Structures are given as structure tokens and as C-alpha cells.
A and B are shown apart, each in its own frame.
Chain A
């Protein structure tokens, strides 16, 4: 069992530790830290307790999985606030009081709900009822809930409007999308093991619940009916994604082979108004069986076709569309490029334990602002699985200019002996540098503040960045499904606003783009209905708000960095 880690460790000590840790790299580690890497390595300091956060995800077997965090602004100050799943304990909301560029500071706010929210495995923020306030989808062991945002970080889960008609289930995944012509989002709750089925847990995976909203605006409920997505294969992550640049979302699901029998990874057609159906062998879908834990999606080469990182026990997969096949047949066939790119992250990068890793939350973002996407993976033994490493530090795979990845978890200071689950990569103090939150099973959350790039015995500012918020009127106010295209010189970087994926964890708010040495960029938005915006001119190191059909973007300034 890991111990809590004090946040009061001085940076010099961290850096000394980093040097020490880097000496412990074992031969054969993929994307080894010992390889030459000249880019910026961010220096993280864990400071959850110092920041006022004391929260542990815990509970019996049902809570070996899950452990999510929802990151969103619940009080209108645009600071990212944090909602933590609590397992069989209480979930918790922490309000962000961090000063711009300063130390992280949070306040526990138990008054967010009139009743304690227990049995929560994960949470995703989204504005379901189009009122401009973030709501929360709670994934639970038991009946799932939608918490309606009321403003000032308060929520109401008793509203008829957002009631869900679900049976008791064990929910571990979630995704949402706005389907054409529907006024509210379509929700999918992904379930894990059906504990009551005969022979449980082996081969008893539960179906998923699909909620399509009513188009009757006079209906007292948004979701009047639920539909089963069957078969379920014990999912731990799902994501609506436009994998083929069709303008329509499909549902990508990663499944845990630990419990399914005859299952596999899944991709569902979601055609307007039609019953969802699985992609089949006849449509080129290849069987892949992994211990699927989390999905991260990013368009690594800005070609419009996203790549997917799938965490598992052992190798992480990095899937890239097979274009030869796709061009001929339109089939969703993928090639795993994780090995060739040094992104398998299959065992710890430090220490002498060569047992396989267990990966959970995965997320792409440009953590060192060099203009290249990096991949963060939260790691940790399920509980006491002897065939897998018990000391499993999180990964920080820094993208390189050759397209490979460099492991910098140890050097950066995130290598703790905790059991990570859900996580988020987000700029908590509006300094342009991405911080990392990790929910740990049986231990306090980790709150890694990014202090900038390691330079000698201190840190220094890293590359340029841009953060963008999208707004629409009426429905889908946060433009879920929109793609932001940021062009500097010949380089285009894209980000798609999605709800889902990761491991039981979701984020809403500014999207972050590292720009490297570009000091300006041309920004275009492909709105969820496929319409392209005009080009907005952006200067680096700023927060931009782009409102649909407005010819000018506005800048936003945090309080002390105006």
C-alpha cells in the first residue's frame, strides 16, 4: 500500500531525486529515459495536500476499477474545479482558488449536493440541458445519476428532467455526443460485470445503456427511454469519435478481457435515428482482445483521422488507421504503432521490477508546450495482482520531432508508487503549463503542479501555447464534436472536443494547444454540424474565446495575469 506524499518537498530535492531516479533506469525499457532527449522535460511537484485536497478512492472489489475525476468550472470563474469519485466513500467537489501562475489551492465544498454521492466510480462534465451550466454524469455501482448544475457549484440530482431510467448496474464508462436534429446529447453508460448473473464474474458482462433524448421539448424528461447496447464486453472506457472523418460519430469501446469471454474491442455505428450496430468482420473490424482500461484519442498528424491509445495490462496500444485498406474499402482497420514509436509503456521505467504494468487513464496533450503531443498514462496494480508490477509509476511519454516518444516520467517527478486510476491533464492555475491530477486507489489523489521545464537546479518557462474555449448558442453550447484547427507555419494542430474516454474521467473548459516557437497562429473551427468558421488570428500565450458566428474572438485574462 502506498503512502501519502507530502507536497512540501522543495524543488531542489525533487530535482535531486530525479537525477537519482534516472540512474535507476533498467536496460530494455522502451522509450528509456537514458536516451538523448534535448527537449523540455517538465518538472512536476506533487502538492495535493498542500493544495487542500485530501481524497481517496477506495472500496471493495467493485472499486478496483473506476476512480475518476471530472474537471470543469462550476462557479463561472473559468478556473477548473475538481469532482472526485469516492468509491464506497463520499465523492467530493473541490473548488479551485489557485492564483494565476501560483501554487495550487482548493477548497473542499461538501455543499455541492444535498445528499452525499456515494458508490461513484467516475464522472464526466457536460451541459446536458443547454442552460449554460455544467452538469455531471455520475457513473455508479448502482443507479447512475445526472447532476444538474445550478450554478455556484451546486447541483440537483432530483430533477425530473434529468432522471435516468436505469436498473442497478456497475458502470465504469461513459460517453456523450450530440446527434443531428436532437436537442440534447445522446448518452451511453458503459457497464462492467453483471454481478448477479450466474457464474459471475467470468463471462458475465453487462449490456450498456444508451439514452437518446426526446425531441419533444414539452416532455418533462429529456430521457424517456433507455436502450440496451448489447453485447457488452466489460468495458472500462468508451468514446464517441469520428474515426473516419465522416462528420458522424461512432462509438469506440475498449473492453477488459479479464472478465469477458469471447469478447473483443468494439466499434458501433451510430447512424441518425437508426439502431446502433456493431462493425463486423465483413466491414473489416479485426478482433482485438486486450485488458482495455482507457482510451485516449488525438489526431497526431492532423490528417483528420484520429489515432487511439488503448491502455491495458502490459502493452499500451497506439492504433493508427490502415490507410491502404481504408482507401480501398473504408474499413476501420488499425495498425498498432506503439512499439515502433516507443509508446508501449509495458513495464515500469524505473526500479528492478520487470513485471508488466497496468495502465488506466490515458490522455494526449502537449505537456511541455513544444508543439508536439505527449501521452500521459496513469498506472497502478489493480489491487494485489502478483503477475503485474506493484510499483507502477505513471508515464509521461513526451512526443519527439521524429514521431517517437521519450519516457520522462521519472525525470519529471511523477513517478510515485501509487495505484493510479482516473486522471486529467489540465492547466489548473492558468499559467499555460499543464498540470496533472491522478486519482489513486487507496491513497490520496496526486496533484502534480507543472513548474515549467527543468533547467539546471531550477525550472524555466517552456514553449508557447494557446487555450481556446468554444461557445454556441442554443443547443450543444460547448460545441461537443467540434474540431479546432490551429495552424502555425506549415504545422496544423487539431483538437476535438469530446465527452468520454480516458478512465472514468472527463474534462470541460479551455482546450490547450502547445505552439512550440510559434508566436501566433491561425485558428479555424469545424463546428459540430460541419460548418467551418472564418479564420481567427491568435497570439500565443493567450486564452481565446470563440463564439460561433462572431467575427472576432475575444481574449480572456485570469485575474492576476491580465
Chain B
């Protein structure tokens, strides 16, 4: 079950797009312990048969090189990792900071503390690979420092989370980068003004129409962040995870490989930062190369952006049109913003906002970039008068309090995560929502109506307004939301009569 990103292969692209060596990007995995580097036998149990060599990549990728990288990423995303690859982390935990266990885990696999999946696609598969997950593949998020081996789902040990879909993830990250850039520039400007004037400069942080509270800059270079809203005090938008606490696809990918599979990425768990080449002590070194992570990132970043579908049914069309208006008028769109403008579609990997432990800009000579405009689906994205892509995410990349005293359904976690309070979550992007039930960060709400009614906290006025609508208007809102599918991918799924998406050949512009 795969999706090709439909690259336009054009040989007329600028010659500056010097990419790495296509043929040497992939390095075959050899049989374990074989000094002669014998290739794997066809029946070998390895899930990874080729690693991606980052050292053979650099600069702006040509379409051909990107295609190869995407193929590798797609393969890795669906690979069922095995002990021959290094699955398992008998002596390290799921924590994103390399953390040793005091004693080996009793069970290698456990649906609670992990390992909890064989492949990325084990959970990201609804309705297609890269999609969301059913309640049955919820994950139990523990920071992995204490109580790492919890064996029940009691929320005192972990936060239970449903699996998000990844479509449009590259655009999400690009939006976050631009917003981070804007907000940090506003802080710089405020400090410059404060230093120049000798008095405090208070500004409203704002990017792409989304406000993030106030910041107070003092003449001596200090900044008071106590009035910021919905963002961390380093003014970095972290768009990933239900909570909105992960900066990049790259960071999240490394986290997930460790958490769910015990596949440790060298760039964080390798000798540079741990002093060990086999940090989890499972007998495997270099389980995930930097190139492997790059391939996984590329594949996720290039997944098509979901676009609203146009129903064939005229009644549905009409209801959805009205519903869209109601959605705006009752306040849903104040957080679930229909679109945010994006200036550039060039995705650099690594990105600008990661910190040590995730590859950073300039950290080596093998940073890459690729233009998402090369992808066929990018042509479908609307643009504004400035030529900026209007990313139809139905979100604001901001965190909000989503529960209150009376409406506490979405405040069902007991553990805060990475400094974010238990009842605060990033606005869920609604694109693709009609294809990715169930709903809520725990995935325990089966219909759109239920999840709307579960909104409390900052979303309470909009939720109350929805409840106060007449039944027909409520149905119009639902009708509108039901158009937010994975678009063509859903069609393809339907065409394939069940659960398979047929690969489409690459096309040439």
C-alpha cells in the first residue's frame, strides 16, 4: 500500500541542482558477521536491505535523486524491522534523550511501553500508508525517563495518543519554519527598539495572521516571555505530535524509530553523543543511518497535501458550502484556519530549528534540499496574490487550552509533556479529517459531531455556538468537514476497491 509523490521529472531544471550520486546513494546491507560483505540472501529476515548513505548526497537534489531517495524512504517507512536490523532496545529506553535502562525490559514488545509496532506503516495506514491510525494502534507516550516499563494503560504512566496522518507534513514544517523565523525576528526587532530607546518595547507576536501573545523587551537585552501564548518561550513553532512539541519531521522520525521500534539513529544515539556505537546493547551498530532518516523525512515531507474534495452529490455540495460559512461564523476558523500562506516550497533537510541530537544546518557537508514544487500535487495548491501558496491545513500551528471545568473530555491526560500542560494541545489540522477517523488526541471519539462537542477551554465558545445551531446547520458543518478528505488518494483508494493504492508512474512535465 504505497503512494508515489508523482514527481515531475524534468531535465531542464537549473544546472545548479547538483545532487549526490544516484547510483551510490544506497549501500546494501550485508549478512551479519560476514567479513566478505556478502549480500543478504533473498530470504534473509532483514527489513532493511539497503541503507541510504548521506555522504553521497548534498545540495539541491535533482528529480532523479529525489525519486531515488523517496523510493528508499517509502521502503523504510513500510519496512517491518526485525532483530536482524537491530529492532529492540534491551538496555535503553524510549526517551528522546539517550537514556539507559537499569535492567533489560521484561518484554521486547509491549503495546504499552513499546516496542509497539513493526513498521511505521503499522500505525500510519488509514486510509493509506502515511495516513492516520485506528484506536487499536494508539500509542502510549511516556517521556521514558521514569516508569519506562509501565504495563498498563493507566494515565498516570503515559498519555494515550491516536496516530496522526502525515499528508502535507512537509508543508506544515515549512510553515512552522517561516513562522519561527518571523517571531524570532520580531523579538530581535523589539530588542533593537528597546536598546535604542532605552525603554521597554512590548509587541504582539504575530505570524501569518496568527497571534502568539505579547513579549516585553527591555533595554538591557532581557526579554519577558510571560505573556506569550501558545508557543514555547524560545519562539520556536513545534508543529508535530498531538501536543505540538516536536520541531521537525527529522526530530520526530528519530524519536519514533527509537520509541516504537528500538531502531536507533546514529545521529543521536551514536558515538558522538553517547560514546557508544551500540547504545541499546542489542548487538547492532548503526541501525539507522543519517541517510535513512533523510529518506524517511523526504518521503513524509513530500506526501501530498490534502485538498477539500468536491462531492458529486449536489445536496452535499450545497450543505458543505453553507457549512463552510457556518464553520467560519461560529468561530471554528479562528483556530482551524482554512489556510496559511507559505512563501517557499523549498524543503531543506536538516532544517533551521533543530538542536543537537538531530542533524543541524551546517553540521556536515551533506545537507540537502528539494523543491516541493517539483511534485505534481503542488500544482493544485491555491496561491494568493503574492504568489504564496495557501496551505489548506485548517489549523494555526498554535497550542490552546482545550478543556475546562465542564467540558473536560479532551483534558483527559495526567502527564504534561515537554513543558506543555496536560490540557493544552496544538490545533489539530483538519485537512484529511474525513478520511482519518477516529478523533480526539486519544482517538476515542468516533464521529465529527462528538469531537466538536468535546471542545472546551479556548474552543468553548465555538463549541457552544455549534451546539446552539439548529440541527440542519450542524449537519451543514458536518457536511463541510466531510469534504476534508485525503482527496485523490481517497479516490484512488476507492478505485482500488478496498485497501490498495496503485502506484502511478512518474510523469514528466
Contacts and interface: CB of A to CB of B under 8 A. Distances in A.
Contact of A519 (B222, B357, B365): B357
A41 to B, nearest CB: 11
B355 A537 contact: no
B226 A76 contact: no
Given A489-B99, A539-B232, A555-B233, A464 B355 contact: yes
Interface centre among B188, B192, B221 (most CB of A within 10 A): B221
A31 B363 CA distance: 27
Interface stretch (B45-53, B269-277, B293-301, B303-311): B269-277
B191 A401 contact: no
Chain B contact residues: over half helix, strand or loop, or mixed? loop
Contacts, number: 110
Given A460-B363, A539-B232, A555-B233, A516 B357 contact: yes
B491 interface: no
A562 B191 contact: yes
Nearest to B418: A520
B272 A539 contact: no
A556 B223 contact: yes
B276 A401 contact: yes
Contacts of A455: 363-364
Interface in B83-108: 95, 97-99
A333 interface: no
A491 interface: yes
A557 B356 contact: no
A120 interface: no
A402 interface: yes
Interface centre among A461, A464, A489, A515 (most CB of B within 10 A): A489
A450 interface: no
A402 B274 CA distance: 10
B356 A369 contact: yes
Interface string A440-462: 00000000000000011000111
Given A490-B145, A557-B191, A545 B222 contact: yes
Contacts of B419: 520, 537
A555 B363 contact: no
A164 to B, nearest CB: 33
B154 interface: no
A400 interface: yes
A401 B220 contact: no
Interface string B156-175: 00000000000000000000
A517 B268 contact: yes
Contacts of B192: 562
A290 interface: no
A554 B223 contact: yes
B364 A489 contact: no
Interface in A357-409: 369-370, 400-402
Given A456-B365, A537-B233, A542-B234, A38 B97 contact: no
A519 B188 contact: no
A559 B195 contact: yes
A456 to B, nearest CB: 7
Interface residues of B, number: 45
Given A369-B356, A537-B419, A517 B225 contact: no
B464 interface: no
Given A461-B360, A518-B97, A556 B221 contact: yes
B224 interface: yes
Contacts of A456: 365
B220 A562 contact: no
Interface string A520-562: 1000000000000000010111100100000010111111001
A509 to B, nearest CB: 14
B234 A464 contact: no
Given A463-B356, A488-B97, A517-B98, A554 B364 contact: no
B187 interface: yes
A40 B363 CA distance: 12
B362 interface: yes
A554 B356 CA distance: 23
B222 to A, nearest CB: 5
Nearest to A370: B273
A78 B223 CA distance: 14
A462 to B, nearest CB: 7
Interface residues of A, number: 41
Contacts of A518: 97, 357
Interface string B202-234: 000000000000000010111111100000111
A467 to B, nearest CB: 13
Contacts of A517: 97-98, 268, 273, 355-357
A460 B362 contact: yes
B223 A38 contact: no
B234 A539 contact: yes
A370 B365 CA distance: 21
Contacts of A314: none
A59 interface: no
A401 B274 contact: yes
A251 B268 CA distance: 42
A402 B362 contact: no
B188 A562 contact: yes
Contacts of B99: 489-490
Contacts of B418: 520
Contacts of A540: 355-356
Nearest to B365: A456
A276 interface: no
Interface in B180-205: 184, 187-188, 191-192, 195
A557 B97 contact: no
A541 B275 CA distance: 22
Contact of B95 (A461, A489, A562): A489
A464 B233 CA distance: 16
A515 to B, nearest CB: 8
Interface string B250-284: 00000000000000000010111111110000000
B97 A539 contact: no
Nearest to A516: B273
Contacts of A559: 191, 195, 221
A39 interface: yes
Interface centre among A39, A401, A491 (most CB of B within 10 A): A401
Contact of A558 (B95, B145, B221, B268): B221
A558 B399 CA distance: 28
Contacts of B225: 552, 554-555
A115 B298 CA distance: 66
Nearest to A369: B356
B358 to A, nearest CB: 8
A370 B226 CA distance: 30
A13 B175 CA distance: 42
Interface string A154-185: 00000000000000000000000000000000
A125 to B, nearest CB: 19
A60 B357 CA distance: 51
A367 B195 CA distance: 31
Given A520-B418, A552-B226, A400 B233 contact: no
Given A461-B363, A557-B191, A557-B223, A38 B95 contact: no
Contacts of A542: 234
Contacts of B224: 552, 554
Interface string B365-380: 1000000000000000
Interface in A398-423: 400-402
17 contacts: A39-B271, A76-B220, A455-B363, A460-B364, A461-B360, A461-B362, A463-B356, A464-B357, A519-B356, A519-B357, A539-B234, A554-B223, A555-B222, A555-B225, A556-B220, A562-B192, A562-B221
Given A489-B97, A556-B220, 15 more contacts: A38-B270, A38-B275, A461-B356, A490-B99, A490-B145, A516-B273, A517-B357, A539-B232, A539-B233, A541-B234, A555-B223, A557-B187, A557-B191, A559-B195, A562-B184
In the A-B complex, list the 10 residue pairs whose CB atoms are closest, starting with the nearest: A517-B357, A38-B271, A401-B275, A539-B234, A562-B188, A489-B97, A463-B356, A519-B355, A562-B191, A554-B222
